[in-house]
Structure formats: C-alpha cells, structure tokens
Amino acid sequence: MEMGAVSGDIRKSVIAGTWYPGSSRVLRADIEHYFHNVPDVVIDGKIIGLVAPHAGYMYSGQVAAYAYKVIRGIVFDAVIVIGPSHRTHFRGVSVYDRGGYETPLGVVPVDVDLARSIIEQNELISYMPAAHLQEHSIEIQLPFLQVALGGVRFVPLMMGDQSKEVCEVLSESIWRAVSDRKVLIVGSSDLSHFYSYERAVKLDSVVLGHIEKMDHSALLKDLDNDVCEACGGGPIIVTIMVSKKLGADRAGLLKYANSGDVTGDTKGVVGYASAVFYDSHAPV
C-alpha cells in the first residue's frame, strides 16, 4: 500500500477490481488521465463543498475528475464525505468513527475526533456497522481524494434516510462539530436513472439549476414531488446547507454528462454531475 496503515478498524474495499481498478498503479494512472482531460479551472475563492458522482469509474470517473481537480493540492484539516445508503435502510445517519477505509492506494484514516463530535450532536446520528459493509457511495470517492490531496483524514457519513428532518439535523451537527477546522464537504450522488437521454437531460437540469442557485429548499421540494431525481439528493442538500453555514456564497457547475455519453446507449441512461461551492470573499 502507498500510504501508511492506521490503527483501529479498517474497512476493506468492496469495489476495487470492479467499480474501479484493483491495481494501485492502474488506479492512480487512470485518475491522473482523468485529471489530464479536465481543462484548468480557477475557483476565485475558498472551496468548501463539492458534489461528485458515485458510479463505476468507466461511467462517471471523468465527470468526478472535474470536481476533484479543482481541490488538488489544497490543504484541508479533514474531508467529510456524505453518501446515500443503497443497500440498508435505517433511520438517521451512520458515522464510521474508527480506523479508516482501505483502497488500493492505501488507508484513508478517519478523523476520529471529528467523527465522534458529529455523533455527539444528535441522537439521529450514530455508528451502525452494517450501513458501511457493502456500500459504494463513499468508497468510490476516496481514490480521487487520495490522488488529489494525499494523506488527508476524512469522516464517512452514510444517510439511511434523506428526509428534511435528517438533512437539517445532519447539516447543523456537522456545522457545530467542525468549529474552526478547515474542512471540505463532499456530497456523493448520481442523478436520474434509466430514462431516455433526452428525458434524463430534462430531469437533471432541474437538479443542476437548484445546485447552481444553492437552493436546497427547492431541491428538496422537487425531489419529494418527483419533479427530478438524485439518489444522493440528501447528501447534495446537506452539502449545500453546510457549505452555506461555513460561508459559501457561490456555486459552480463543473461538468454534466450521462452514461449515454460514454456507452452510446441512449435508451436508459444515468446522469452524473460535478459541482463546487465556495466563498468568493475569502482567500483561496
């Protein structure tokens, strides 16, 4: 492994070799290739939050690279990655508060103090081991973070439900726990699933419009009313809410595409987007 091991419980990869390459050399080379394909973009302010997709890299890796390239080399005290639970439904949020997550690039250590501080904020937030066992939505982000930021610590937050109450509780809890730390918030989400190319673009444009306006309330309403779709709608909403609490006043849509752009199959596509939230009044 390329990074040193950490003590405590290490959550082993469950998608290396399938959703992304299992070889550390190939994985790093692929991510560098994705970064190379992204035009240089200067974000004029302090980056606080990102939205990035969580499909297999052959489908969404290039879109994800647009998000992670803009934070490459920035020093953060910790990264908070918020993902939706696809396999296990539960009330509230599960925080992995020990050890780290392992990928072929090494172990990404958990910021245990920050994780447990978030847990302490509300009874809806706890550690539920089963929520993290097979879930891909957090792990898929980590190799990009490892290449972009090196040995940063992180906090994995798995949303078991994405109700308005849970979004509000989690955003407030993160904000209180972060205190004066310099953190990056990452909302892990794909967009519409298995519509025609044209229908997907129309549905996804609704989500993208709310992201660009940082309008979490309108996004929550439209998701609840089936006006649009995002499997990680809750993580996007929480990322917007926390970013605003931490000073973000601008959003930028970095890239949108869907699986049809990769495979050529336009009959049933999945949408992907990368976005950034930042404080335009703060130094980079």
Residue 4, pLDDT score: 40
Q: Where are the domains of the chain?
A: 10-279
Q: How many CB atoms lie within 10 A of CB 152?
A: 20
CA distance 254 to 46: 16
Is the alpha carbon torsion for 191, 194, 198, 199 positive or negative? negative
**CATH (one of 1.20.59.10, 3.20.20.100, 3.30.70.270, 3.40.830.10) for 10-279:** 3.40.830.10
Query: What six digits make up the tokens of 50?
Result: 């990102």
How far is it, in rounded angstroms, from Cα 194 to Cα 189?
15
> According to the model, what pLDDT value does residue 283 have?
78
Binned average pLDDT, 10 residues per bin, the chain of 284 residues = 55 96 98 97 96 97 98 97 92 96 97 98 95 92 97 96 96 97 98 97 98 98 96 97 98 98 95 98 82
* pTM of the predicted model as reported, rounded to 2 decimal places: 0.95
Residue with tokens 């549905």: 203
